[in-house]
Amino acid sequence: MATTTESVLQAKGIAPSLTVDDLDRSIRFYEGLGFALEDRWEDGGKLLGVMLRAGDAHLGLSQDDWKKGKNRVKGLGLRLWISTNQDTDELAKRAKAAGIILTREPYDEWGSHAFDVIDPDGFLVTISKDSPK
C-alpha cells in the first residue's frame, strides 16, 4: 500500500516542455484547447519555441531540431493531466468546435469528470474537473 510522506521540494508549479514536429500546428492545437500564447522564442527570425498559459498552468513547446532523427516517436508513455474548476463538458464542446478530435468523450472516473485528446505528436492530454463529493 502506498503511503503519503512530506516532500522535501515545495514546488509552486510545474511547466512541462514538449518537443514537437510542427510548432505552428501544435500551437493551434493547444490554443483550440484554450491555452494562450504567453512568450515566443526566436533566433534569426525563426520561431524555435513558445510558452503557453492556461490559468496558472504553463506548457512549453519547442520545434524539434531533428538531431535525434526525423522520425523519432514522441508522446509514448506521457499523459498531461490538466485539472480545472471549469465545466469540462463545455470545454470539450469548445475543443471540438476548434476541430480537435476527442479520443474519449466526457466521462466520470476516479472522482472526476474528464475528456481525453491526443495532440499532433501523440501526447495524451486529459482535462478534468473533480466531481462534487
84 within some domain: yes
DSSP 33-101: HT-EEEEEEEETTEEEEEEEEETTEEEEEEE---TT-TT----TT-EEEEE-SS-HHHHHHHHHHTTPP
Residue 13 confidence (pLDDT): 84
> Which tens digits make up the pLDDT trace of 10-31?
888 889 999 999 999 999 999 9
Judged against a pLDDT cut of 90, whether residue 131 lies above it is answered with: no
Number of domains comprising the chain: 1
124 within some domain: yes
pLDDT band at 1 (very low <50, low <70, confident <90, very high): low
> Which tens digits make up the pLDDT trace of 67-91?
888 888 888 889 999 999 999 999 9
60 within some domain: yes
Edge-to-edge, what's the strand order for the sheet holding 79-83?
79-83, 124-130, 112-118, 102-109
95 within some domain: yes
11 within some domain: no
117 within some domain: yes
Please state the rounded mean pLDDT for residues 79-105.
96
Q: Who's near 12: CB < 8 A, 6+ residues apart? A: none
pLDDT band at 133 (very low <50, low <70, confident <90, very high): low
Q: What is the CATH number of the domain that holds 57?
A: 3.10.180.10
Domain that residue 93 falls in: 17-64+74-130
- β-pairing, 17-20 vs 57-63, is parallel
Residue 4 confidence (pLDDT): 76
The helix (H) or strand (E) run that includes residue 28 is helix 23-33
81 within some domain: yes
49 within some domain: yes
The whole-chain average pLDDT of the chain stands at: 93
